[in-house]
């Protein structure tokens, strides 16, 4: 049984064994000092999850993989209001 299409989901929810596995491996490969903490990561994803620019795990403002961008300590939200 396949999961129904969900435009407002993250890759973790859409494809946990496919592209999300690759994204999580990229996040894990980041040096610890370049990754934000788990609570900050979840806070960022919560904000992105409510944003109208999220579409199928990517940001409509810049085209990035939202989960990867949110994991990087020195990154910010690409929206003109910089939600995080």
Per-residue model confidence (pLDDT) at position 56: 83
Give the pLDDT confidence of 56-68 residue by residue, as tens digits.
889 999 999 999 9
C-alpha torsion sign, points 56, 60, 79, 37: positive
Per-residue model confidence (pLDDT) at position 19: 83
Beta-bridge partners for 59: 54
Cα separation values, 42 from 1, 3, 22, 34, Å? 29, 23, 19, 16
- Look up the pTM and report it: 0.81
How many residues are listed for the chain in this entry? 84
Question: What is the mean pLDDT, run by run of 10 residues, along the chain of 84 residues?
Answer: 59 74 93 98 96 91 96 96 94
Q: Name the CA radius of gyration of the chain, rounded.
A: 13
């Amino acid at each position: 049984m396949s999961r129904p299409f969900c435009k407002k989901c993250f890759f973790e929810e859409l494809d946990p064994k496919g592209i999300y596995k690759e994204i999580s491996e990229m996040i894990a490969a980041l040096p610890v000092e370049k990754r934000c903490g788990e609570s900050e990561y979840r806070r960022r994803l919560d904000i992105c999850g409510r944003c109208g620019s999220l579409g199928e795990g990517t940001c409509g403002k810049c085209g990035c993989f939202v989960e990867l961008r949110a994991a990087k300590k020195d990154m910010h939200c690409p929206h003109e209001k910089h939600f995080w």
